[in-house]
Amino acid sequence: MESSPKSLVTVAHGTRNLAGNDVARLVAAAAGERLGVPARVSFVELAEPLFADVMIEAEAPTVVVPLLLSTGFHMRTDLPEAVAKANVPVVLGAPLGPDPLLAQAQVARLLEAGATAGQRVVLVAAGSTDEAATCDQMAAVSLLSRAWNGPVELATLSGHGTRPIDVVRPGDAVSPYLLSPGFFHDRVRREAPDGVVVAEVMGAHELVVELVVRRALALSAD
């Protein structure tokens, strides 16, 4: 049976874009309110408080829900090393993505941006050189294609994969596989051809908050 955790910590990558960090704060606050527990946002780098510091300061059993969309160095190394410094029991969750709820949030953002049913969509991810991250991105494409009920292709801004300039065509819609605005979303907008609908990032959509709540409840039951 699921029970609420004593404390929730979310951990996002962090960005120099203040609005991007605010998304992580909004998600953490909304999830904590839903769960009825103290919730604290943290970041891997580029913003404060840093996750490593939050783990050292933790005073109650805690579940950690990463706001990261794929497996990679942070998930494999940085986060576990920080958790090991905690003086209280801490349960670290898996990356937030891929997940059907994120795909539904992407569909909502596409429709808000003016995309239409059946329109070809390009999911644009930040990208990684980690093969596991590439697998996660392909799974996200599959989930979005199902939720959108239409063709979805993958493009990445860095690392492995094909760049948006080689995938996106006039008349397409672009779905950024990003939680927060910032460098990558700005680049997606800048590089999109004329006539292409570019959706907003998933942001603090209610479905993102719902996913964090579900992950926290599942972790507290482990």
| Percentage of residues in the chain having pLDDT higher than 90 | 87
Burial zone of 108 (CB within 10 Å; 0-12 exposed, 13-18 middle, 19+ buried) = middle
Q: What is the pLDDT of residue 17?
A: 87
- Residue 80: C-alpha distances to residues 76, 117, 143 (Å): 7, 42, 28
Q: What is the pLDDT of residue 201?
A: 97
Tens of pLDDT, residue by residue over 91-126, are: 999 999 999 999 999 999 999 999 998 899 999 999
On the question of pLDDT at 1 being above 80, the answer is no
Q: What is the pLDDT of residue 71?
A: 87
Q: What is the pLDDT of residue 181?
A: 92
Model confidence at 3, pLDDT cuts 50, 70, 90, reads low
Q: What is the pLDDT of residue 57?
A: 96
List, in sequence order, every residue forming a beta bridge with 198; answer none if it has no partner.
Answer: 174
Q: What is the pLDDT of residue 2?
A: 58
Tens of pLDDT, residue by residue over 33-89, are: 999 999 999 999 999 999 999 999 999 999 999 999 998 888 999 999 999 999 999
| pLDDT (mean) for 168-185 | 95
**Alpha helices, DSSP H only, in the chain?**
18-35, 51-57, 73, 79-83, 100-113, 131-148, 164-167, 183-191, 206-221
Return mean pLDDT, the chain.
Answer: 95
The pTM is what? 0.95
